[in-house]
Structure 1
Amino acid sequence: MIKLYFKQAFHLLGENKLLSSISIIGTALAIAMIMVIVITLRATIAPFAPETHRDRMLIFRFAGLQNKSNVNWQSNGAIGYNTAKACFKAMTIPEAVSITNIGQETMLAAKPAGEMESCSVLQTDDDFWKIFEFKFLSGKPYDNADFDAGADKAVISEDMARRLFGTSEVVGKTFLLNHSAYIVCGVVRPVSKLAKYAYAQVWIPLSSTNAFTATWGDDNIMGMTAVYILAKSKDDFPAIRQEADRLRTIFMAGHPNFDLLYHGQPDTYFVAAQRYSSNNPPAVKEAIRQYILTLLVLLIVPAVNLSGLTLSRMRKRISEIGVRKAFGASRGELMMQVLSENMLYSLFGGILGLVLSYVAAFLLGGMLFSVDFVSNGVEDLRTMCVDLLFDPTVFLLAFLACFLLNLLSAAIPAWRVTCTNIVDAINER
C-alpha cells in the first residue's frame, strides 16, 4: 500500500509541475541556506586537520603598549619574540606553546637556477608541530636543535614540492626562498586556507629570519609574533590566563615606564575569529545572536511560505479526499497518502538543498570564508575533512523542520475532511 502511495505521489508531481517545483525548490533553498551558514560557522570553530585541537587552543595575536606617564598614548599590535617567550613560553600549565610570525608572508621560491614561484610562507618555532597536526608524507619537521641553531630547513606542502621539483620526493633537496637557500626536511599534505593559523605552503624556522629579532616601539617590547597555546583541557583556560598575567607582571617589572595590555587575551578559537583589531573587544554575543537570528529567519520564512503553498494544494484536493472517503478509505489511509506525498516533496527538496549548499560554498567561498576559495576551491574541499562540510545532525534538523511544517499544512485540512460529512467534503464545503 505504501508503495502505491508513492506511485501516486510521483504521478501528482507530473500533474502539478509548477506547484511541485516551487515546493521542492523552496524546501531546497531553505535547507541550502541553513547548511551554508552552518558550514561557514564550522569552518570558523570546528576542529579539522591540521587545526585538530581548536577546542582546547588559546590564541594571542595583539597587545597594547601603554605609557604610564601619558595615559593618552597607546601603541597596539603584535609583540616581539623575546616578549612572547618571557610571557608565554615559560608557562607550565599548557601542553605546548608555539610562537610564530604574525601571519603568512608571500615569498618567491625557486629551484636553484630555476623559475620563480610565489608561495605562502609561515615562520614558526619547533613547538608549532606539537600544536598543529600535519600529515607528513615524507621526512619530519625541524626540531628544537634546528630552531636554536637558526637552521635553514623547511617543510613544504606536497603541491608546492611538485611545482618546484616536479615530484613529492624532495626531502634533502635545496631550493631558494627569497634568494636564501633552504633544505627540505619534510613534505606534508596540502593545507586548506580555512585553517587560517596553520595554513602555508612553506614553513621555516622563525629563528632563520629577521622576524626573530625584529622589534618596534619603546623598550623593544612590540614586534612581529603571535602565540598559540594548547591546553591539556579547556578546563585549564582560566589557570592559563592567570599564569600568563603573572608572567607578564614579572616581565614588565623590567620595563617600569610601560604597561603591556592583553585586551582580554589569550582568546579561544571562536573569540579570536571575532577579533578584528587589537584594541577593540570582539563582539562575541552579537555574533552569536546574529547566527541564531539568521538561522531562524532562513528556516521559518521559507517554511511558512511552503506551508502556504501546501495548504493551497490540499484545499484543491478536498473533494478528492471526500470521494476516497466515500469509497471506504479510512482516516489512516488518507493520512498515509498525504504523508507519503509530502515526504517525497521534502526528500527531493532536501537532496537538492544539500547539493546547492556545496555549490554555494564553492562558488561563494571568497565571500563566505574570506579566502580565495574559488581559485583554490577543489583543493580546499579535498583537504577539509568531510565532517566539517557535512553535519548530519544540522541537515536532519533542517529537513525535519521543513517536513513537519509542510506535513502540518497538508495533514490538518486532510484530517478535517475526514471528520466532515462526505457530501460536504465532495462539494468542498
Structure 2
Amino acid sequence: MIGYYFNLALRSFRRNKVLTALMVLAIALGIGAAMTTMTVFHVLSGDPLPGKSQTLFYPQLDPGTRDEYRPGEEPTAQLTRLDAEALLKARRGDRQALMTGGGVAVQPQRAGLLPFAADARYTSADFFPMFDVPFLYGSGWNAAADEAHARDAVISKALNEKVFGGGNSVGKTLRLEDTDFRVVGVLDDWRPVPKFYDLNVSRHGYGEAEQVFLPFSTSRDLELGRSGNMNCFDERVDGVSATDVGAPCVWIQFWVQLDTPKKAADYKAFLENYSEQQRAAGRFERPTNVRLRDLMGFLRHNRVVPDDVNLQMWLAFGFLLVCLLNTVGLLLAKFMRRSSEIGVRRALGASRGAIFMQCLIEAVSVGLVGGLLGLALAYLGLWAVRQQPVEHAALAHLDPAMLLMTFALAIFASLLAGALPAWRACQVTPAIQLKTQ
C-alpha cells in the first residue's frame, strides 16, 4: 500500500510541478542551512578522546595574593612551575603531565633546506600514553629521560617528511637552537579537535598539533622560547625570571589521569591538602580554592565552541522553521485543492487514516527530494566555511553521522510540515464535496 501511495505522490508532483518545486526548494534551503551550521558545531563540540575523556582531569589551584580577592572566584587557569613540578613529583594519579607551548629553530642537515621555525611542546613522559598519541615510528621518552634532562625529541609526521624524507628517523640527530637532539619517536597523523591540552596558545584551541615535543626539564635547561599566556600575580625577587621555579607566575598546564571516580575524589582531597600546606607555609594567601574538572567539563567551562558558531546554528534552525511554515502553507493549499478527489475516495470507502497516510507520504516524498538537494547545499555551505580565515575552517567536513542526520532531519521536517495539512485533508466531508460536483 505504501508503494501505491508513493506512486500517487509521484503523479501529484507531475500535475503540480511549480508548487512541488517550491516546496522542495523551501525544505532544501532550510536543511542546507541547518546542516551546514550543525556540522560545524558537531565538529567543534565533539569529544577529542572518546572513551577516555572521563578519566582525564585538569587540576587548578589558587596561589594568588589577597589583593583583589573575591570569595568563590575561579582559580587561575594555569599553575606556577613550583606547583606543577610538585604535583608531577607526587605522582598521585595513574598518569600525569605538565606542559607548555614554545617555538624552536630547526637547523636541518639536509642539503638545500634552510633553517625554519617550528611550534614546540615542552612536556613530560606521560603526555603520549595519557593522550593516546599515535606513533608512526618509535615512541615517547620515559620518566628517566625527564629526570636526566635528556636531549630527546619526538617529531611530527610532517616534520619528519620535511627533514628526513619520511623514513624511519628514530635514532637520528635533529639540531634545534644549536643543540643536537636524538629523535626517539615520530608521530602518525594526530590533530585532536579541539586541541584540548592547551587552550592558551590559540583563541579556541583548534590549531594544528605541534611539530616538536621535548622534555620540559630540557627546555628549561636550554631556556628555549615559550609561548602562551603568562600571568604574574606578585612581584619577583631580583634575579628571578618569570619561568624560574620560585617565580610567582602561572604559565604551565597540568593534566592527570584518574581511572576511577574514587581516585578522582581522592585526588581532589590531595589538592585541597596541598593548598592548605602551601597556605600554612606562607606561599598561598587565599583560602583553599581548587577545581578538578574532567576533560569535557573543562571544555564546556572554557566555551571552546565560538559564540558566533552557536549563534549561526540557532539562526539556521530559525530559518528552517520559517521554511517549514511556508511548506505547511503550500501543502495545505495543494491538499485542499484536491478536496473533491478526496471526497470521492472517501465516498468509495477510503478511511480517514488512509487519506492521512497518503498525504503524509506525499509530504515525506517532498522531504526526501528536498533532503537530497539540501545535502548538496550543505556541501556548498561547508565549502564556503572552509574558505574563511578562521582556525577551525579546515575542519568543516560532513562525516557519515551527519550525512545520515541530513536525511533524518529532512524526513522529520517533512513529517512535521505535512501533519497539519494531512489532518485537514482527512477531515473533508464526502457529502459536501459530492454535492458541489
Quote how far apart the aligned CAs of 1:225 are: 1.0
Aligned: 1:109 with 2:106 = yes
Counterpart residue number, 2:124: 125
Alpha carbons of structure 1 residues 305 and 179: separation in structure 2 relative to 1, 3 Å: farther
Residue from 64, 67, 71 that aligns with 2:65: 67
Alpha carbons of structure 1 residues 344 and 89: separation in structure 2 relative to 1, 3 Å: farther
Q: In structure 2, the residue corresponding to 1:364 is in which secondary structure?
A: helix
Residue from 386, 391, 401 that aligns with 1:371: 391
Query: Which letter maps to 2:268?
Result: R
Counterpart residue number, 1:410: 421
Aligned: 1:204 with 2:230 = no
Q: In structure 1, the residue corresponding to 2:10 is in which secondary structure?
A: helix
Residues 81 and 223 of structure 1 are in contact (CA less than 8 Å); yes or no, is this contact kept in structure 2?
yes
d(CA) in 2 for partners of 1:275 and 1:362? 30
Residues 104 and 118 of structure 2 are in contact (CA less than 8 Å); yes or no, is this contact kept in structure 1?
yes
Residues 46 and 193 of structure 2 are in contact (CA less than 8 Å); yes or no, is this contact kept in structure 1?
no
Q: In structure 2, the residue corresponding to 1:339 is in which secondary structure?
A: helix
Residue by residue over 1:20-42, the C-alpha shift from the partner in whole angstroms, topping out at 9 and shown as x without a partner, is 34433443444455545554454
Residues 47 and 53 of structure 1 are in contact (CA less than 8 Å); yes or no, is this contact kept in structure 2?
no
d(CA) in 2 for partners of 1:211 and 1:12? 78
**Contiguous gaps of at least 5 residues in structure 2:** 198-208, 237-245
Residue by residue over 1:402-422, the C-alpha shift from the partner in whole angstroms, topping out at 9 and shown as x without a partner, is 1331230331122112xx024
Alpha carbons of structure 1 residues 254 and 160: separation in structure 2 relative to 1, 3 Å: same
Quote how far apart the aligned CAs of 1:162 are: 1.9
Alpha carbons of structure 1 residues 425 and 337: separation in structure 2 relative to 1, 3 Å: farther
d(CA) in 1 for partners of 2:369 and 2:168? 47
TM-score by length of 1: 0.75
Counterpart residue number, 2:141: 142
Aligned: 1:320 with 2:346 = no
d(CA) in 1 for partners of 2:360 and 2:301? 48
Counterpart residue number, 2:204: none
Q: How do 1:174-193 residues align onto structure 2 when only pairs under 5 Å count?
A: 174-192=173-191
**Contiguous gaps of at least 5 residues in structure 1:** 277-281
Residues 105 and 115 of structure 2 are in contact (CA less than 8 Å); yes or no, is this contact kept in structure 1?
yes
Quote how far apart the aligned CAs of 1:338 are: 1.7
* Percent of matched pairs sharing the same residue: 21
d(CA) in 1 for partners of 2:30 and 2:116? 43
d(CA) in 1 for partners of 2:24 and 2:146? 58
Residue by residue over 1:286-325, the C-alpha shift from the partner in whole angstroms, topping out at 9 and shown as x without a partner, is 99x9899779746645433432332233222323323444
d(CA) in 2 for partners of 1:302 and 1:235? 51
Counterpart residue number, 1:343: 364
Quote how far apart the aligned CAs of 1:129 are: 1.6
Quote how far apart the aligned CAs of 1:127 are: 1.1
Give the count of matched residue pairs.
Answer: 402
Counterpart residue number, 1:85: 85
Residue by residue over 1:183-234, the C-alpha shift from the partner in whole angstroms, topping out at 9 and shown as x without a partner, is 3222222223623135323322222213998995445242431011222135
d(CA) in 2 for partners of 1:14 and 1:273? 51
Residues 310 and 410 of structure 1 are in contact (CA less than 8 Å); yes or no, is this contact kept in structure 2?
yes
Counterpart residue number, 1:311: 332
Residue by residue over 1:10-56, the C-alpha shift from the partner in whole angstroms, topping out at 9 and shown as x without a partner, is 3444554444344334434444555455544544553345x752233
Query: Which letter maps to 1:268?
Result: D
